[in-house]
Structure 1
């Protein structure tokens, strides 16, 4: 699954200021709503938090990948928030998070959900790619890193 087909310039937020992970998730969901990718931002937000409460999605290296399958989602999307300052997030390596990659898929798209997660996880195993993501300062740079 090609991540770049699912993330557009409008889906990337840079220098986001948030106090905690819930606020980051809300900003990403509000952006999805603004761009008409969800039917209900409240339902989408609730579904993401319900999944997050089952098991934290902090993968380490300052990155988290919250995700959901939700009846509120119109189409598969990948949204990214690059935070101005890191926020506390339960992660595998105990580090705070500065990059949040949100995966949202319609409820009937379980196979797509798994393919997107697998593709992202494979990319993020590359430490150089993670470093490049952290060093990216523009939307274009983030998209270029994900194309690697």
Structure 2
């Protein structure tokens, strides 16, 4: 694992890239993430994922400002990193640091014994989302495949 560093395109699957998700609250966004991951891999328990995401939010919101959130957590028994990319139909209150509602969400679920590699992924994500033109392109996506291509394109 260590010889190739993890990048966003390696952890994101088209099935976990979702456009204009109708979520009315932060809780619903986190539930939706957990449900989608379980739907894609039934060995992973959606209640566990949801509870871990919520527990992480209690430590401090993962809303990083400018309408973006990167919810993340560790999961017992997971052997890979899972990414979920969503744009929301309507921005929701996420207790973000700038109090702006969130409409771009990238969730990261990592193995229990998470390493520095996973922190590296978080900083890669934060760096990409720091580019407001890039975020605007994501928000304009009409379909999941377009969103996936934009997110997985390492050259933006």
TM-score, with structure 2 as normaliser: 0.87
* Cα distance per residue 1:43-64 (max 9 Å; x no partner): 1111111001101011112111
RMSD (CA atoms)? 1.6
Residue ranges of structure 2 left out of the alignment (5+ in a row): 1-5
Residues 13-70 of structure 1 show CA distances to partners (whole Å, capped at 9, x for unaligned) of: 2221122111111111111001117522111111111001101011112111100112
Q: How does 1:90-101 map to 2 (within 5 A)?
A: 90-101=95-106
More displaced stretch, 33-42 vs 15-24: 33-42
How far apart are the structure 2 equivalents of 1:141 and 1:93?
29
4+ runs of 1 displaced by more than 3 Å? none
Give the corresponding residue for 1:135: 140
Distance in 2 (CA, whole Å) between partners of 1:138 and 1:96 is: 22
Alignment match, 2:124: 119
Which residue in the other structure is 2:33 paired with?
A: 28
In structure 1, list runs of 5 or more residues that go unmatched. none
Distance, in Å, in 2 between the alignment partners of 1:3 and 1:37 is 23
In the alignment, what sits opposite 1:40? 45
For the residue of structure 1 that corresponds to 2:100, the secondary structure is coil
> Aligned to 1:83, which of 85, 88, 97?
88
Q: Which residue of 1 aligns with 2:3?
A: none
- Could you tell me how far apart the structure 2 residues matched to 1:73 and 1:37 are? 12
> Paired residues, what number?
148
- What is residue 57 of structure 1 aligned with on the other side? 62
Q: Scaled by the length of structure 1, what TM-score is found?
A: 0.92
